[in-house]
């Protein structure tokens, strides 16, 4: 099968970061891509100024790229915070405040897919209390997303790079997906299958794909080791993406890798230019 019928999008929060936020959509389009995703761009502002939201919306529209995924507020990302929704106090409050803002912004661009990152374990708070808060906030977000016919993604990170994050395996992420769906009855919580994070955790990627494709609504890729472009590490993405297709996955493949020392525009040589523009 190869990559010929695969829909790729670029994560503008890890690629093209040598440019300003508002320059990145046009740069992605110049590299041949028509779809992008983003972590929440304002790490210190879960509710940014309306002018900032409008400027990013205009940059995406002017570039002619489609927003297909957006993270809810997750603190300093990349960085040590790695999520907010299970952290009591200000961070959890910021997550809740961000949910309607992020939904309004994304849906104005036709995007209804949202990633909600769990938070790190914090000192002085029982893990069970953090998990209860997380379920409460994820249920809140799933219901809000459900009002626009959207999908809430739950992602597993990796233990070596995020040792304080409790969601560091596919089975654990699926456990949370199932708990959110049981709490809401909506069925709109799904798995974000990040093959880099799962590989870093030492999981059998073939087994993960076979077991969980039916609960997966988004896939992200980066090679391992190094979190670089496909071909810089040891993962066989032709085989992995073929396996996803054979298991019924037809959604987006998010390119969430580091470009290395060269400009981001040069980090796509592995993917022929005609295959970068999504046709649907």
Closest CA to 100 of 81, 119, 72, 76: 72
Q: Which of 160, 69, 81, 83 is nearest to 117 (CA)?
A: 83
Q: Looking at the annotation, which residues are catalytic?
A: 155, 256
b vs e for 51-75, b when ≥16 Cβ sit within 10 Å of the residue's Cβ? eebeebeebbeebebbbbbbbbbbb
- Distance of alpha carbon 102 from alpha carbon 46, whole angstroms: 8
Enter the DSSP assignment of 215: G
pLDDT, one tens digit for every residue, the chain (280 residues) = 467 889 999 999 999 999 999 999 999 999 999 999 999 999 999 999 999 999 999 999 999 999 999 999 999 877 777 799 999 999 999 999 999 999 999 999 999 999 999 999 999 999 999 999 999 999 999 999 999 999 999 999 999 999 999 999 999 999 999 999 999 999 999 999 999 999 999 999 999 999 999 999 999 999 999 999 999 999 999 999 999 999 999 999 999 999 999 999 999 999 999 999 987 6
Say if residues 114 and 103 touch (Cβ distance below 8 Å): yes
Q: Using CA atoms, how far apart are residues 217 and 179, in angstroms rounded to an integer?
A: 17
Residue 149 burial by CB count (10 A; 0-12/13-18/19+): exposed, middle or buried?
Answer: exposed
Domains contained in the chain, CATH given: 7-275 (3.20.20.150)
Structure tokens at 118: 């769990």
> What is the per-residue pLDDT across 114-141, written as a single tens digit (0 to 9) for each?
999 999 999 999 999 999 999 999 999 9
Which residues contact residue 170 at a Cβ distance below 8 angstroms, ignoring those fewer than 6 apart?
A: 156, 191, 193, 198, 203, 208, 211, 212
Tokens of 275: 């295959």
Residue showing tokens 């970061």: 17
159 to each of 134, 191, 199, 200, how far by Cα in Å?
19, 18, 11, 8
Q: What pLDDT, on the 0 to 100 scale, is given for residue 2?
A: 62
Give the per-residue pLDDT at 278. Answer: 83
Angle 168-174-180 from CA coordinates, rounded to 5°: 115
Whole-number Å distance between alpha carbons of 31 and 24 = 11
Q: H or E segment at 240?
A: helix 237-246
């Amino acid at each position: 099968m190869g990559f010929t019928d695969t829909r790729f999008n670029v994560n503008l929060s890890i690629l093209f970061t040598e440019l300003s936020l508002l320059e990145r959509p046009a740069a992605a389009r110049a590299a041949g891509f028509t779809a992008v995703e983003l972590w929440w761009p304002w790490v210190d502002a879960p509710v940014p100024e309306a002018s900032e939201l409008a400027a990013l919306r205009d940059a995406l529209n002017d570039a002619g790229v489609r927003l297909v995924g957006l993270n809810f507020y997750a603190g300093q990302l990349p960085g040590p915070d790695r999520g907010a929704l299970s952290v009591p106090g200000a961070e959890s409050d910021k997550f809740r405040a961000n949910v309607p803002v992020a939904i309004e912004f994304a849906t104005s661009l036709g995007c209804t897919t949202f990633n909600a990152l769990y938070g790190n374990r914090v000192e002085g708070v029982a893990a069970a209390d953090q998990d209860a808060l997380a379920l409460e906030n994820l249920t809140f977000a799933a219901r809000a997303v459900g009002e626009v016919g959207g999908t809430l993604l739950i992602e597993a990170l990796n233990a070596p790079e995020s040792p304080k994050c409790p969601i560091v395996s596919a089975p654990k992420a699926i456990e949370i997906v199932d708990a959110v769906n049981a709490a809401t009855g909506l069925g709109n919580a799904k798995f974000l299958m990040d093959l880099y994070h799962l590989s870093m955790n030492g999981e059998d990627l073939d087994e993960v794909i076979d077991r969980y494709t039916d609960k997966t609504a988004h896939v992200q890729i980066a090679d391992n080791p190094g979190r670089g472009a496909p071909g810089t590490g040891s993962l066989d993405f032709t085989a992995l993406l073929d396996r996803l297709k054979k298991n019924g996955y037809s959604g987006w493949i998010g390119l969430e890798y580091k470009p290395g020392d060269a400009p981001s525009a040069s980090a796509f040589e592995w993917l022929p230019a005609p295959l970068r523009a999504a046709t649907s």
